[in-house]
Amino acid sequence: MNKKETVHSSQLTVDGPIPYGRQHITDEDIQAVTEALKSDYLTQGPRIAEFEESFANYVGSKYAVAISNGTAALHLCALALNVKEGDKVITTPITFAASANCVRYCGGEVVFADIDPDTYLLDINKVRELLESLPKGTYQGIIPVDFAGRAVDLEAFRKLADKYDLWIIEDACHAPGGYFIDSKGTKQFCGNGNFADLAIFSFHPVKHIASGEGGMITTNDKELYEKLLKLRTHGISKNESEYKNSLEFAVGATQNSKLNTQNYPNWYMEMQELGYNYRITDFQCALGSSQLKRADEGIERRREIAKNYNEVFESKEFVKGQSGVVDGHAYHLYVIEVEDRLGLYNYLREHSIYAQIHYIPCHLMPYYRQFGWKEGDMSNAENYYKHCISLPMYPTLTDEQQDFVVNKINDYYE
Ligand SMILES: *Cc1c(COP(=O)(O)O)cnc(C)c1O
The reply to whether 287 and 391 lie within a common domain is no
The reply to whether 156 and 288 lie within a common domain is yes
**Residue 203 Cα to ligand 1 middle (Å):** 8
- Residue in 99, 216, 284, 359 to alter for ligand 1 test, most ligand atoms within 8 A of Cβ: 99
Taking CA 401 as the corner, what is the angle to CA 208 and CA 334, rounded to the nearest 5 degrees? 45
In a domain, 246, yes or no: no
In a domain, 88, yes or no: yes
In a domain, 157, yes or no: yes
Number of alpha carbons in the 13 Å side-chain half-sphere of residue 108: 28
The reply to whether 278 and 383 lie within a common domain is no
The reply to whether 340 and 280 lie within a common domain is no
CA of residue 391 relative to chain centroid, distance: 19
- Residue in 76, 96, 99 to alter for ligand 1 test, most ligand atoms within 8 A of Cβ: 96
The reply to whether 284 and 332 lie within a common domain is no
pLDDT number for residue 16: 80
Best CA proximity match to 347, nearest among 304, 318, 367: 318
pLDDT number for residue 149: 97
The reply to whether 190 and 304 lie within a common domain is no
Domain boundary among 225, 257, 292: 292
Q: Concatenated DSSP letters for 254-295?
A: -SSS----SS--TT--EE-S---B---BHHHHHHHHHHHTTH
The reply to whether 16 and 75 lie within a common domain is no
pLDDT number for residue 9: 47
Range of the domain at 181: 27-235+274-292
Domain boundary among 248, 265, 292: 292
Q: In total, how many domains does the chain have? A: 2
pLDDT number for residue 47: 97
Q: Is the CB of 174 under 6 A from ligand 1?
A: yes
pLDDT number for residue 361: 98
Q: Is the CB of 81 under 6 A from ligand 1?
A: no
pLDDT number for residue 3: 41
**CATH number for position 299:** 3.90.1150.10
Contact (Cβ atoms closer than 8 angstroms) between residue 93 and residue 83: no
Residue nearest to atom 6 of ligand 1 (CA): 70
**Residue 213 Cα to ligand 1 middle (Å):** 10
For residue 170, the cross-strand partners are 199
What is the full per-residue pLDDT of the chain (414 aa) written as tens digits? 444 444 454 455 677 899 999 999 999 999 999 999 999 999 889 999 999 999 999 999 999 999 999 999 999 999 999 999 999 999 999 999 999 999 999 999 999 999 999 999 999 999 999 999 999 999 999 999 999 999 999 999 999 999 999 999 999 999 999 999 999 999 999 999 999 999 999 999 999 999 999 999 999 999 999 999 999 999 999 999 999 999 999 999 888 777 888 999 999 999 999 999 999 999 999 999 999 999 999 999 999 999 999 999 988 888 888 765 568 999 999 999 999 999 999 999 999 999 999 999 999 999 999 999 999 999 999 999 999 999 999 999 999 999 999 999 999 998
**CATH number for position 282:** 3.40.640.10
In a domain, 244, yes or no: no
pLDDT number for residue 315: 87
Residue 221 gets which letter from DSSP? -
Contact (Cβ atoms closer than 8 angstroms) between residue 80 and residue 235: no
- Residue in 173, 276, 332 to alter for ligand 1 test, most ligand atoms within 8 A of Cβ: 173
